[in-house]
Amino acid sequence: MQDALRELTSVAAEAAAASMWPLSEEELLTFIDRVHTAQQMLHAAMLHAVREVEGRAIPAKHQATSPQVWLRGRLRIGIGSALRMLAQARLLDTVPELDAAVTAGRINAEQLDSIVKAVGDLPSDLEPDVRNKATTTLMSWTSHLDPIELRKAGKRIQMHVAPDLDDAAEEERLRRAERAAYEQRFLTLSPIGDGRVRVRGILDARAAATVTAAIDPLCRPGTAPPIADRGGPNAERADATGIDGGEDLRTPGQRRADALVDVSRLLLAGGLLPDNGGDRPQLVITASYDVLRQRLGGGTTDTGEPVSAAAVRQMACDARILPLVFGGDSQILDAGRSRRLVTGPLRRALNARDRGCTFPGCDRPAGWCDAHHIVPWTDGGTTDLTNVALLCEHHHRAVHDVNGWQVRIGADGHPEFMPPAWIDPEQVPRRNPYHRRT
Ligand SMILES: [Zn+2]
Ligand SMILES: [Zn+2]
């Protein structure tokens, strides 16, 4: 036996040090299968040894407070792993068929763990026959079920053999889980550099359902044709399909992120939020006047995150976003302030004229839109129907892109868009037929 163990160690060392690149694909797959089977067999060997250690009360002799604590110290593993090994070792000891299957490498460690948990969930006063039957039934499924499916199968067996175990326990378990989930709730927005902010959080199922219900209708493909960043792999295609109202190239993750922002924008625009320190809640952006004029430098959000000059100019374009402008010629801004707000009768007239985002192919209604100044108010542009057009967030971004689409008011007083030359060399103006009255 001692010789065999020595040999085992040297074979294992050889396998661990082996180069993978000379292997053919077939040899590589064989390698994975064999090593895995060996791992599982060695796991069985370890469980047998652990059971023997426990049987001989070696942990107590070593003054350990429990077998799991001893195992943790001996192997430098976590207490959870130690407990799992002990539970597996005990079950193998009581079900010889299971022991044989694990020893032969037919049941892997994770599957075994699912079986141990399923058997552990059975009521303690269950007939031994029934318990063994449950164990061997689960065993027979290990050839085609993964650990998670086995766990579910175990639940079904439990409901079958102990139906009254049962509703009350299940209800209590659910309520405990709900309480824990609610207590663990949190949401953080942490800047991680390069203009990215990581959103992390936990919600309980009910709260998550509320958020999902709010963003779901906005997550549908095609609810906002995307404008790809210049140079991205799909840039050309995305712009082209964006205006056709065709395929939405955003990933599901991108659509959910957009939807969350859209919900927030809609709430800010609707004036439904409670006052924040006496002010109507709104997005505040701080920048110097030079940034707005010269398209250089940048600004900061009221949470202190830096934003580019292009973003500042877009955000400053509509009155719903309040630019706090420092330095330079601030009197001009103050004087011009009342002129640049697209509110009241002007906004109503604009809504009536455009009825929604004016970008070709976009179906966003007026309530979602910013009033875009065609000639920026910082460049002396006026705030009247000849110089403003409704644009949703996505398309507002697109027209503020220096290499992007140009917008102008056509001869009949409606906005029209000139595609960039890389999309249409002729740059034929296009319109959005979507909101037209018929
Ligand atoms: Zn704008
Ligand atoms: Zn749009």
Instruction: Answer yes or no: is 30 within a domain.
Output: yes
395 Cα: distance to centroid of ligand 1 (angstroms): 9
**What are the residue ranges of helices labelled H in 162-251?**
166-183, 205-219, 235-244
State the pLDDT at residue 23: 93
Four-CA torsion 100, 104, 105, 111, nearest 10 degrees: -20
Instruction: Answer yes or no: is 394 within a domain.
Output: no
Check pLDDT > 90 for residue 25.
yes
Ligand nearest to the CA of 364: 2
State which amino acid sits at residue 381.
G
Instruction: Answer yes or no: is 179 within a domain.
Output: no
Check pLDDT > 80 for residue 231.
no
312 Cα: distance to centroid of ligand 1 (angstroms): 10
State the pLDDT at residue 277: 56
State the pLDDT at residue 293: 65
Please give the tally of structural domains in the chain: 2
Asked whether 71 and 50 are in contact (CB, 8 A), the reply is yes
Ligand nearest to the CA of 395: 2
Instruction: Answer yes or no: is 299 within a domain.
Output: yes
Ligand nearest to the CA of 388: 1
* 96's tokens: 């010889």
390 Cα: distance to centroid of ligand 2 (angstroms): 8
322 Cα: distance to centroid of ligand 2 (angstroms): 21
What tens digit of pLDDT does each residue of 241-298 get? 343 345 677 888 888 998 898 888 888 777 677 765 555 556 666 666 666 666 666 7
Check pLDDT > 90 for residue 377.
no
What tens digit of pLDDT does each residue of 159-212 get? 777 776 666 676 777 788 888 888 899 999 988 888 899 999 999 888 888 888
Can you spell out the DSSP letters for 242-273? Answer: HHHT------HHHHHHHHHHHHHHHHHHHT-S
338 Cα: distance to centroid of ligand 2 (angstroms): 26
365 Cα: distance to centroid of ligand 2 (angstroms): 9
214 Cα: distance to centroid of ligand 1 (angstroms): 27
**Residue at a domain's end among 340, 359, 378:** 340
369 Cα: distance to centroid of ligand 2 (angstroms): 8
417 Cα: distance to centroid of ligand 1 (angstroms): 14
Which protein residues have a CB closer than 5 Å to ligand 2 (ion)? 357, 359, 362, 364, 392, 395
Instruction: Answer yes or no: is 172 within a domain.
Output: no
Instruction: Answer yes or no: is 349 within a domain.
Output: no
**Residue at a domain's end among 292, 310, 340:** 340
Ligand nearest to the CA of 435: 2
185 Cα: distance to centroid of ligand 2 (angstroms): 34
215 Cα: distance to centroid of ligand 1 (angstroms): 25
Looking at the chain, the whole-number percentage of residues with pLDDT higher than 70 is 79
177 Cα: distance to centroid of ligand 1 (angstroms): 48
State the sign of the Cα–Cα–Cα–Cα dihedral 28, 32, 38, 42.
positive
70 Cα: distance to centroid of ligand 1 (angstroms): 67
Q: How confident is the model at residue 331 (pLDDT cuts 50, 70, 90)?
A: very low
Give the contacts of 165 (CB within 8 A, at least 6 positions apart): 123, 158
222 Cα: distance to centroid of ligand 2 (angstroms): 11
416 Cα: distance to centroid of ligand 2 (angstroms): 13
The C-alpha atoms of residue 311 and residue 327 are separated, in whole angstroms, by 19
Instruction: Answer yes or no: is 52 within a domain.
Output: yes
**Residue at a domain's end among 106, 136, 163:** 163
Domain housing 329: 282-340
Helix-, strand-, coil-residue percentages of the chain, each rounded to 5: 55, 15, 35
392 Cα: distance to centroid of ligand 2 (angstroms): 4
State the pLDDT at residue 201: 93
Instruction: Answer yes or no: is 90 within a domain.
Output: yes
The C-alpha atoms of residue 404 and residue 398 are separated, in whole angstroms, by 6
